[in-house]
Amino acid sequence: MKKKFLSLFMVIAITIFQFAPTMVSAGSIGQIGSGKRVTFTETDTSSEQVASSTNMEEYIDSKNDAFKEALDNANISVDLNKSNIDPNTLFSSTEPYKYATVNSCNSSYMMIEGNLTQVYTVNYTTVNVTKSSSPSIYIIQFNSNGGSSVNSQSITGNGYKVSRPADPTKDNNNFVGWYSDEGLTNAWNFDTVVTSSMTLYAKWEPISTATTISSAEITLKAPKVGDKVEKITKNDGYGDYETQSANPIVSTTTNGLDIYAYWVSGLEALSEEPFYGTFEKDKYYYAMIDFEAQEGYELPATFPDGIKVNGVAPDEIFAVYGGTYTHCVVKIKATTTVETSTYEYVDNTANQTYTINKDDTLTVRINADYSLFENGGKVYVDGALVDSKNYTSKSGSTIITFTKDYMSSLSEGEHTLKVTFNNGGEATTKFTVAKAEESTNNPQTGDNVMFYISMLGLSIIGLAGAGLYIKKRRFN
């Protein structure tokens, strides 16, 4: 009884599969049992006429490739030489010319040699081809899509190409090119051989009428040690929003840009994590600047050199461009500043003159506590650090005395003296190094000659007088 029931079930199943064919669609058919079979059935015939110059071998080969592609799309991979039909009955590149086109693919299941087998039926149409006694004429039309009109072309004979027409024009648009589809995705290659009448479509690119922003000046303030950036709530008329209590921007000079800036916690690309806290000494902080073009303006594709932040082009200081025409982000590194004190030279020690070979030292006195210099203070002359062996320092405010050797080593003329202190303060003055003036009491060369002549004359007169005196006494 059980065996009869199973046999009856198989008969019903086979009957259902044999009389329930379904259309084949890509990806829906697989192999069941030991295999699958394909049969080809001619369901229709038609005729076609081609130009007399047509290369029929190439033409039929192209139709054969299209036939196989249709089978592949239906997931039917079959060698025509092993099917129930001779490929030569479907395609012929010698007279009478013909080829086949796939109309439909049906599938069913049946028991063959004890196996459940998938069976395909391919319905095709035979196309009989003849050559025309005169060349074909193809009409090529040009749809300018709102641009200036372009005359159509008549292409006579196979193997001919479309002549590229003069580019059409359209207000506020640049012509891109001709396309073979209305969706403007397939650009037409004018080296392509025409095989049928067609329409080519113009593609346009709108010309922007916005003013391109080329320059802007933004001044940022460096964070001040001890200042705090806190989270505060504001209302812009549309609702509450959180922002920072300190804004990095001091001033801007620009047209067509809305500029926003705020302190951020790091320099990671496009990081927008805000910074909240207290500015500390010897640390770096970062300001992010957003540029947004106003209506009627646009930013160029690359960051304009004319946009300066603290006098420097942002692409030299951590610039990140946003990648659109209306928005970009710039990051600039800002260093902390310390409140500095300016000290003065007292007791008439500013703007002194040191005379070489006359003065022994140069001493200055500054109204700063000596402890500020003793622990980290420095001395600079003309911007160069002076070795501490070339001067002494002591308290009494701050007193610095340069050695004679050091002062004598300086060139004649004006020099700048700067003394710095460990709190960031400094004192600056100038001093002059000069030579000692030569004495003006030394007799001149001409005077010396006259002196010696006079002395010689007096000597001669003296000797003569002495001689007369001796002679006179001898005779007396």
Strands 215-220 and 249-253: antiparallel
Distance CA 321, CA 330 (A): 7
As a whole-number percent, the residues of the chain with pLDDT over 70 amount to 72
Q: Taking the CA atoms of the chain, what radius of gyration do you get in angstroms?
A: 53
Distance CA 234, CA 220 (A): 22
CA 436 to the chain's CA centroid: 64
Would you state the pLDDT for residue 451? 57
Average the pLDDT over 59-75 and give the result: 87
Distance CA 131, CA 152 (A): 26
pLDDT surpassing 90 at residue 170: yes
Would you state the pLDDT for residue 51? 73
Would you state the pLDDT for residue 294? 81
Helix (H) or strand (E) holding 333: strand 327-335
Would you state the pLDDT for residue 334? 62
Q: What is the mean pLDDT of the chain?
A: 77
For residues 174 and 22, which has the higher predicted lDDT (pLDDT)?
Answer: 174
Would you state the pLDDT for residue 174? 93
* Tens-place pLDDT, residues 173-220: 999 999 999 999 999 999 888 888 899 999 999 887 778 777 778 787
Would you state the pLDDT for residue 417? 95
Average the pLDDT over 48-74 and give the result: 85
Most confident option among 6-10, 17-21, 274-278, 455-459: 274-278
pLDDT surpassing 70 at residue 224: yes
For residues 315 and 136, which has the higher predicted lDDT (pLDDT)?
Answer: 136
Distance CA 271, CA 161 (A): 55
pLDDT surpassing 70 at residue 2: no
Q: Is 446 helix (H, G, I), strand (E, B) or coil?
A: helix
pLDDT surpassing 90 at residue 166: yes
Would you state the pLDDT for residue 134? 66
- For residue 245, the one-letter residue type is S
pLDDT surpassing 60 at residue 341: yes
Would you state the pLDDT for residue 381? 94
All domains in the chain, ordered by first residue? 2-131 (no CATH), 137-206 (2.60.40.4270), 212-335 (no CATH), 353-435 (2.60.40.10)
Side-by-side strand order, sheet with 306-309: 249-253, 215-220, 306-309
Q: Which of 187, 63, 198 lies closest to 137 in space, CA to CA? A: 198
CA dihedral sign, ordered 262, 266, 271, 272 = negative
pLDDT category of residue 282 using cuts at 50, 70 and 90: confident
CA 423 to the chain's CA centroid: 42
Q: Contact at 8 Å (CB) between 138 and 192?
A: no
Cis-peptide, bond into residue 87, ω within 30° of zero = no
Average the pLDDT over 369-379 and give the result: 87
* Tens-place pLDDT, residues 405-449: 999 899 999 999 999 987 778 899 999 999 877 655 555 545 555
CA dihedral sign, ordered 382, 388, 391, 396 = positive
As a whole-number percent, the residues of the chain with pLDDT over 90 amount to 25
Q: Contact at 8 Å (CB) between 105 and 67?
A: no
Q: Is 320 helix (H, G, I), strand (E, B) or coil?
A: strand
Distance CA 391, CA 57 (A): 104
The residue length of the chain stands at 476
Please give the angle made by the CA atoms of 253, 255 and 261, to the nearest 5 degrees: 60
Q: Tokens 């086979």 — which residue?
A: 14
For residues 463 and 80, which has the higher predicted lDDT (pLDDT)?
Answer: 80
For residues 217 and 475, which has the higher predicted lDDT (pLDDT)?
Answer: 217
pLDDT surpassing 60 at residue 475: no
Distance CA 266, CA 272 (A): 9
pLDDT category of residue 22 using cuts at 50, 70 and 90: very low
For residues 319 and 245, which has the higher predicted lDDT (pLDDT)?
Answer: 245
pLDDT surpassing 60 at residue 147: yes
pLDDT category of residue 454 using cuts at 50, 70 and 90: low
Q: Is 401 helix (H, G, I), strand (E, B) or coil?
A: strand
Q: Contact at 8 Å (CB) between 293 and 324?
A: no
Q: Which of 316, 408, 407 lies closest to 364 in space, CA to CA? A: 407
Would you state the pLDDT for residue 8? 41
- For residue 349, the one-letter residue type is T
For residues 159 and 131, which has the higher predicted lDDT (pLDDT)?
Answer: 131
